[in-house]
């Protein structure tokens, strides 16, 4: 169990304190916390993208060789035989933004592809760094888009933080700090709650100086106070029209004022991967991670020892993947998720 | 002249008016820009070589022609004070042949000049930055006024940044909010060559006597997080201000003593600049902090407070 697990201050919106429809069981929470502790002791200090490069002991698959790619650290081949990939794993983990949907628009062919995978007995899991919605809210989003996805299949970095809050009986009436201002008058003192044992930082469109200062005081002055980040994404796709500064900026603000590195629970940290594999009792080599971002999704999959499939329907373009400066190569790349449905050897 | 993205003088604000009496002279600006140039080329990998060379083709001369000419329509004077002309108008219309190019050859210095005339600065910070930029003749956007701006994350909503912003300056800002973070992020990520400049990266600052406050380092940290770029730091411990001061007053750095209360800004600043350093214990640093084995920054001397310079004599020891 975590020490000083009394109370947590969150810098997210007032929607942060969520009650998932399916309350995590004590088993879930124990699972979570043991993964969390392992994370804390082994990976904490330098949980930066790229820092957790997986070992090179993963064999290059026969498929890659057949595609003409025989070198050691090879450039990712275009997926040609979807069936072989599908048959080689039991579980598909999908990132959401840029893979399943873009903003509020479903990406073409996704429903049929998910149905096909389910009909083949594959387990589907959805993992997102976007901490603005709860699992229930994500469930609704899936439903609105015509997808049949259960809340128990969704893992957002908000869940990771929320499960922890649940385990320490965090008060339900979270105050809204979005409109709080500070008065820099002589003698004015902003006092933080001395019982705060962890500060959780995620994407927050209502970030302001009050919150930055409050979180800073907790981390700097409350002994043993943890600094937890749901994710450090530089940009995020909140609308379909453009990129938006992501959770990485809120976390960056607290890094700047505390000069401390956070414990990252979202991708590319393997925290959620460990949780999922333990919860569903699946071995990681039986998982294929499907995502649109190299430094979060693909790295997440690689760090976890899974197969990785990059889709070009989101933020990463082919030039970006093939850029000599890019060192993150997925096992395969393809245009979009629905290629799993149509790409058969016969069709190539 | 300056390349795109540098902090530059641009067209006046819509309220263009007589410049303040004590506005920086062209000499001051030349000094500033040559220090800035050195800072930029030594700290920023992407600087274009020679891009910030100040043009030497315009002599600074008295308006002798106008003064001595008695006929009706005075002979046109040689342009001497470019800033005054630039600040007096909002738009430049350029003829092309013989002005921008000659045949198929670009006339020297044109790209830099056009860039200089266009660039604006987006400020995440408070009124001090705005005032200094104004005094130096720069056009800025942002500042405290953006503190009340909000964004609407609706489908199709587009926040468009001014494409002419050539630099984002980030300093302490008690009104920081997501709008500003996003605006600055868009400028740095999408405007080609846009500079990311930080006034300082202090983790905490002492705004009131009662406690420490999250400093400029947090606003800068937010932009580092979203752009994944390192800023050009102009404040301590960067030596930029040291270079400027020593050039302006024509003093050699070994002749300077830096007196400060912070090891990682003041003392490091002095050391980086090659000056003598004196730590005073009247501020944030305590003797245990100075003597902590984990501390690697050692000033030349330490003392309790500045007034010790008055009282501490060999005879008095």
Q: What is the pLDDT of residue B76?
A: 77
Q: Kindly report the nearest CA distance between residue A348 and chain B, in angstroms.
A: 36
Which positions in chain B touch A103 (Cβ < 8 Å)? Answer: 155
**Are the Cβ atoms of B208 and A187 closer than 8 angstroms?**
yes
Q: Kindly report the nearest CA distance between residue B157 and chain A, in angstroms.
A: 7
Q: What is the pLDDT of residue B75?
A: 76
Interval A215-236 mean pLDDT: 91
- Is the pLDDT at A121 greater than 70? The verdict is yes
Gap between the Cα atoms of B130 and B14, Å rounded: 16
- Is the pLDDT at A138 greater than 60? The verdict is yes
State chain A's mean pLDDT as an integer. 77
Distance between alpha carbon B182 and the CA centroid of its chain, in Å? 21
pLDDT level of residue A134 (50, 70, 90 thresholds): confident
Interval A286-303 mean pLDDT: 94
Bridge partners, residue B35, by sequence: none
Q: What is the pLDDT of residue A22?
A: 43
User: Is the CB of residue A142 less than 8 Å from the CB of residue A135?
Assistant: no
Question: CB-CB: which of B153, B201, B210 is closest to A256?
Answer: B201
Q: What is the pLDDT of residue A305?
A: 93
Q: What is the pLDDT of residue A65?
A: 36
Q: Quote the ipTM score.
A: 0.72
**Are the Cβ atoms of A245 and B209 closer than 8 angstroms?**
no
**Are the Cβ atoms of B212 and A206 closer than 8 angstroms?**
no
Bridge partners, residue A128, by sequence: A156
Residue of A nearest to B151 (CA): A205
Gap between the Cα atoms of A261 and A45, Å rounded: 6
Give me the DSSP letters along B267-280. IHHHHHTT-EEEEE
Q: What percentage of chain A has pLDDT greater than the value 70? A: 72
Interval A283-307 mean pLDDT: 93
**Are the Cβ atoms of B225 and A259 closer than 8 angstroms?**
no
Q: What is the pLDDT of residue B280?
A: 93
State chain B's mean pLDDT as an integer. 78
- Is the pLDDT at A237 greater than 50? The verdict is yes
Q: What is the pLDDT of residue A271?
A: 83
**Range in A61-65, A261-265, B156-160 with the lowest mean pLDDT:** A61-65
What percent of the residues of chain A are helix, what percent strand, and what percent coil, each to the nearest 5?
A: 35, 15, 50
Q: How far is CA A164 from CA A115, A230, B46, in A?
A: 33, 12, 44
pLDDT level of residue A269 (50, 70, 90 thresholds): confident
Which positions in chain A touch B124 (Cβ < 8 Å)? Answer: none
Bridge partners, residue B278, by sequence: B259, B301
Q: How far is CA A2 from CA A12, A39, A225, A230, B75, in A?
A: 22, 12, 11, 17, 83
Q: Kindly report the nearest CA distance between residue B58 and chain A, in angstroms.
A: 43
**Are the Cβ atoms of A209 and B178 closer than 8 angstroms?**
no
Residue of A nearest to B208 (CA): A186
**Catalytic annotation, residues of A:** 90
Which positions in chain A touch B181 (Cβ < 8 Å)? Answer: 207, 245, 249
**Are the Cβ atoms of A186 and B174 closer than 8 angstroms?**
no
**Non-local CB neighbours of B149 within 8 Å, separated by 6+ positions:** B177, B179, B180
Q: What is the pLDDT of residue A201?
A: 95
| Helix orientation angle between B216-227 and A247-258, rounded to the nearest 10 degrees | 140
B102 or A304, which is more confident?
A: A304
Give whichever of A7-16, A79-88, A231-240 has the largest mean pLDDT.
A79-88
Tell me: the pLDDT tens digits for B164-220?
899 999 999 999 999 999 999 999 999 988 999 999 999 998 888 778 899 999 999
Tell me: the pLDDT tens digits for A7-46?
334 333 333 333 333 444 545 544 444 454 444 444 433 3
Distance between alpha carbon A95 and the CA centroid of its chain, in Å? 8
- Is the pLDDT at A130 greater than 70? The verdict is yes
Which positions in chain A touch B182 (Cβ < 8 Å)? Answer: 244-245
**Non-local CB neighbours of A92 within 8 Å, separated by 6+ positions:** A117, A122, A123, A124, A125, A287, A288, A290
Q: How far is CA A139 from CA A95, A126, A150, B204, in A?
A: 14, 10, 6, 41
CB pairs under 8 A between A and B: 137
Number of Cβ within 10 Å of residue B122's Cβ equals: 26
Residue of B nearest to A180 (CA): B175
Q: What is the pLDDT of residue B194?
A: 93
Give me the DSSP letters along A45-108. TT--TTTTPPPTTSPPPHHHHHTT--SSSPPPPBP--HHHHHHH-SEEEE--BTTTEETTEEPT
Q: Could you tell me whether strands B140-142 and B120-124 are parallel, antiparallel, or unpaired per DSSP bridges?
A: parallel
Residue of A nearest to B176 (CA): A208
Gap between the Cα atoms of B169 and B220, Å rounded: 9
Q: Kindly report the nearest CA distance between residue B129 and chain A, in angstroms.
A: 18
Q: Could you tell me whether strands B165-170 and B120-124 are parallel, antiparallel, or unpaired per DSSP bridges?
A: parallel
**Range in A49-58, A87-96, A197-206, A315-324 with the lowest mean pLDDT:** A49-58
Phi-psi sector, A72: left (phi>0), alpha (psi -120 to 50), beta: alpha
pLDDT level of residue A291 (50, 70, 90 thresholds): very high
Q: What is the pLDDT of residue A51?
A: 36
Q: What is the pLDDT of residue B5?
A: 33
Question: CB-CB: which of A188, A240, A252 is closest to B221?
Answer: A252
Give pLDDT < 50 ranges for chain B. Answer: 1-24, 26, 30, 40-70, 317
């Amino acid at each position: 169990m975590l020490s000083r697990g009394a109370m947590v201050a969150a810098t997210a919106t007032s929607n942060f304190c969520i009650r998932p429809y399916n309350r995590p069981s004590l088993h879930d929470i124990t699972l979570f916390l043991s993964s969390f502790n392992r994370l804390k002791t082994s990976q904490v200090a330098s949980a930066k993208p790229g820092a957790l490069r997986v070992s090179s002991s993963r064999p290059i698959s026969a498929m890659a060789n057949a595609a003409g790619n025989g070198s050691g650290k090879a450039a990712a081949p275009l997926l040609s035989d979807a069936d072989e990939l599908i048959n080689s794993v039991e579980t598909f983990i999908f990132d959401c933004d840029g893979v399943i949907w873009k903003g509020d628009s479903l990406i073409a062919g996704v429903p049929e592809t998910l149905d096909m995978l389910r009909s083949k007995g594959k387990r589907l899991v959805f993992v997102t760094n976007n901490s603005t919605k709860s699992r229930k809210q994500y469930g609704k989003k899936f439903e609105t888009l015509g997808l049949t996805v259960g809340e128990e299949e969704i893992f957002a970095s908000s869940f990771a933080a929320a499960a922890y809050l649940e385990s320490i009986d965090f008060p339900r009436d979270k105050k809204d700090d979005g409109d709080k201002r500070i008065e820099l008058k002589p003698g004015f003192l902003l006092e933080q709650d001395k019982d705060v044992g962890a500060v959780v930082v995620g994407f927050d469109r209502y970030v302001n100086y009050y919150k930055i200062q409050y979180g800073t005081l907790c981390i700097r002055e409350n002994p043993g106070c943890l600094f937890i980040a749901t994710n450090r994404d530089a940009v995020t796709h909140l609308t379909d029209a453009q990129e938006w500064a992501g959770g990485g900026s809120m976390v960056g603000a607290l890094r700047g004022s505390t000069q401390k590195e956070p414990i990252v629970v979202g991708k590319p940290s393997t925290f959620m991967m460990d949780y999922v594999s333990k919860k569903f009792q699946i071995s990681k080599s039986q998982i294929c991670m499907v995502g649109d971002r190299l430094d979060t999704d693909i790295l997440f999959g690689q760090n976890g020892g899974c197969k990785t499939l990059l889709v070009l329907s989101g933020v990463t373009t082919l030039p970006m993947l093939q850029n000599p400066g890019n060192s993150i190569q997925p096992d395969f790349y393809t245009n979009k998720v629905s290629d799993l449905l149509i790409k058969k050897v016969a069709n190539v």
